[in-house]
Structure 1
Amino acid sequence: MSAPPLHLAVELDGVPFADLPAAVAAAEATGFALVTLADSPLPPASGERIEAGVLAAYLARRTSRIGLAPALPVTITEPFHLATQLASLDHASAGRAAWVVAAPNGADELATVGRAPLDAAGLRREAEDVIRVARLLWDSWEDDAIIRDVASGRFLDADRVHHVNFEGATFSVAGPLITTRPPQGQVVVIVPHALGLDAFADVVLVEDPSDVVEAGPLVFAEVRSYPARLDDLAGAVHGIRLHPQSLEELTAVITQAPGRPVAGPTLRDTLGLRRPVNTFALQEA
């Protein structure tokens, strides 16, 4: 039996803003599952950068099927605002949001928010804490919290909106979120294998397809050289993330890649990931 076709993702870092909608539209038409948008707290050489979450929101209303995955940093972004931004992206895209967990830890990067670099254990703990609290905040509104009962004048059931009361190593969050639960229940969380947090991911990014990943998440291999033998990875991983180095290379990759029809309507549906049951609803059951 042949291996199932690979899910395709492409990193669009470096694509000029004016060319971005056309590039994403081409990837969507080819059957790519998602696009990722890198970011950095430091300005690029050109002196111009639009924050990845803002770019994803811009693309949300200009696409209809493809997933949108900005890289948002756990070390320099307030966790409550990070979770809110991603939940809002999921609403704006009707269930196509993902999050590439970024963990910049250089002295110059951390200086932008007045922090010092963390040691390896501290960085891992920080990333774990932010992922944990984001997942709790996305669940802080149960699916049926909104009532909209005009006759009774009730808009929501307050018993189904929850404080998360999370205590991390360097921060605390009371909650609840200021937006309702994301359409996917949980935004798709994409974590680089190097962070050592496979157990908290929906998708793990590996540099080497032979890397051992904890059971559970999907595994996407990073492909950085072209032409790539994508068929060689079928069966070894669930998907690949391509890293074209120029707009011309991106165009060639998109037109030559073996497209996989996007199942939809949400990114979780496309990737074959279940919609999680709400944590607080489980506690009440």
Structure 2
Amino acid sequence: MTDRAAGLAGLRLALEADGDGAHPAAWRHSGRPPGAVLGPRALRDVVAAAEDAGFALVTFADSPLPPGGGPGAAAGRLEAGTRAAYVAPLTGRIGLAPTLQVATTEPFHLATQLASLDHVSHGRAGWVVGTAAGEDDLATIGGAAPSTAALARETADVIDTARALWDSWEDDAVIKDVASGRFLDSRRVHHIDFEGASFTVKGPLITPRPPQGQIVVLASDGLDIDARADVVLVGRPGLAEVAARAATAREAGAPLVLAEVDVVLDAEVPATDRLAELDAAAFQPESGRLRHTGSPESLLELLRELADSVDGVRLHPAVLAVDLPVLAERVLPRLAGAASNRGPGTTLRDTLGLARPANRFAAAAASNT
């Protein structure tokens, strides 16, 4: 391994796989009819390409309202948890992390959906914490938008509830004892009795404990819930800002930090020309993330710089149909240990180097004996 390759050793790469790409005009360059993004083939092809390339995980953006809305932008998407569930049995190695919203989803159902995803994927589920909570977002469930403080409390409560529910079944609760006719040991299934600011949950969950024990929780650095997350996603526009925020997240207790990077790569057309054409077709608001516009080689240089301060990067390609093949052919092969060492049966926690947490109820019982 060369010194230049060594600088990228262990860097985890995630891919945001929503729609046709991160740019609102991506659908114009997808090579498919506009409505095809709502069909299963497009989703299957993107996730399969990401898995074959060696990405550690794919994420699926979502919101209570349809995306887009500006001139030239495509609108419409399928619910993220449904997309992740669909590709789970079609993949074997890559992590799958849908965005589920804390303000417009019942906490019990959210925890159940993610636990079910972990079971069907054999331990590859993640959760990108969504906090859309504007007036229009809450109108979709007949609610009123919470204050900033109330949303922060709600976010913390939902995460804490989900984590408690994932522990509500101990690992050995399912016994399948044919002789006695017992499916489970009820002593190892627990009520959580959670009381939050705006809801209560009795529990237990209706599914056994997820294979990973706890779903991998990914949270934006802007939510200030670093200690509750497994992975903090740092979206800052400069390298120094990314490094500073990553250090703060680690001090707060975040096990892993990933930088957020928008990507427009040289292909048959230079990246700068591609971006100009995309911007002319649809307005793209500032994302607040780092942006790389240029060659795959210069992206690798950026990744080497980021590797000094973060554990990985989540890439947001402008157009998946154009940028993902370039990433697969000219970037991922240069990353030491990309997914070649992962095989079927490897959990997302294994891939990310995160330990499988002990069950809180089993640990409490052991400490009392």
TM-score, normalization: structure 2? 0.74
Name the residue aligned to 1:8.
13
Specify the SS of the correspondent of 1:61.
Answer: helix
Q: Distance in 2 between matches of 1:215 and 1:79?
A: 24
Measured against aligned partners, the alpha-carbon deviations of 1:3-40 in whole angstroms (never above 9, x if no partner) come to: 43310001011232432211111111111100000011
Counterpart of 1:222 (choices 231, 236, 260) is 260
Tell me which of 288, 310, 325 is aligned to 1:251. Answer: 325
2:215 to 173, 178, 187: 187
Q: Is the 8 A contact 1:221 1:237 kept in 2?
A: yes
Aligned to 1:281: 362
Shift of 1:132: 0.1
CA contact (8 A) 1:24 1:35 kept: yes
SS of 2:42's partner is helix
Distance 1:154 1:267 in 2: 32
1:136-175 CA distance string (max 9 Å, x none): 0000000000111111212110000000010011111000
Other-structure match for 1:126 = 154
d(CA) in 2 for partners of 1:254 and 1:134?
35
Which residue of 236, 243, 253 corresponds with 2:309?
A: 236
The within-5 A match list for 1:76-91 is 76-91=104-119
What SS does the aligned partner of 2:136 have?
helix
Task: State the Cα deviation string for residues 217-269 of structure 1 (Å, max 9, x = none).
Answer: 20000001234321211121001000012121233233332341253610000
Cα RMSD after superposing both structures: 1.5
Return the letter of the residue paired with 2:12.
H
Equivalent residues in 2 for 1:107-118, closer than 5 Å: 107-118=135-146
Aligned length: 285
Aligned residue in 2 for 1:30? 53
Give the drift of 1:47: 5.3
| Cα displacement (A) at 1:59 | 0.5
Determine helix, strand or coil for the equivalent of 2:49. Answer: helix
How many angstroms apart in 2 are the aligned matches of 1:235 and 1:203? 17
Letter of the 1:19 counterpart: A
- Structure 1 CA distance for aligned equivalents of residues 183 and 89 of structure 2: 27
Does structure 1 retain, via aligned residues, the 8 Å contact 2:235–2:259?
yes
Which residue does the alignment assign to 2:342? 263
Could you tell me which residue of structure 2 aligns to residue 51 of structure 1?
Answer: 79
In structure 2, distance between residues paired with 1:43 and 1:185: 33
TM-score, length basis structure 1? 0.96
Unaligned runs of 5+ in 2: 21-36, 237-241, 263-290
Contact 2:118 2:211 in 1 (8 A): yes
Task: Say whether 1:156 aligns with 2:172.
Answer: no
Counterpart pick for 1:40 among 63, 67, 78: 63
Structure 1, gaps ≥5 residues long: none
Structure 2 letter corresponding to 1:38? A
Contact 2:233 2:260 (C-alpha < 8 Å) held by counterparts: yes
* Contact 2:89-2:120 at 8 Å conserved across structures: yes
Tell whether the 8 Å contact from 2:85 to 2:120 is kept in structure 1 after alignment: yes
Alpha-carbon contact 2:232-2:254 (below 8 Å) kept: no
Q: Which residue of 2 aligns with 1:66?
A: 94
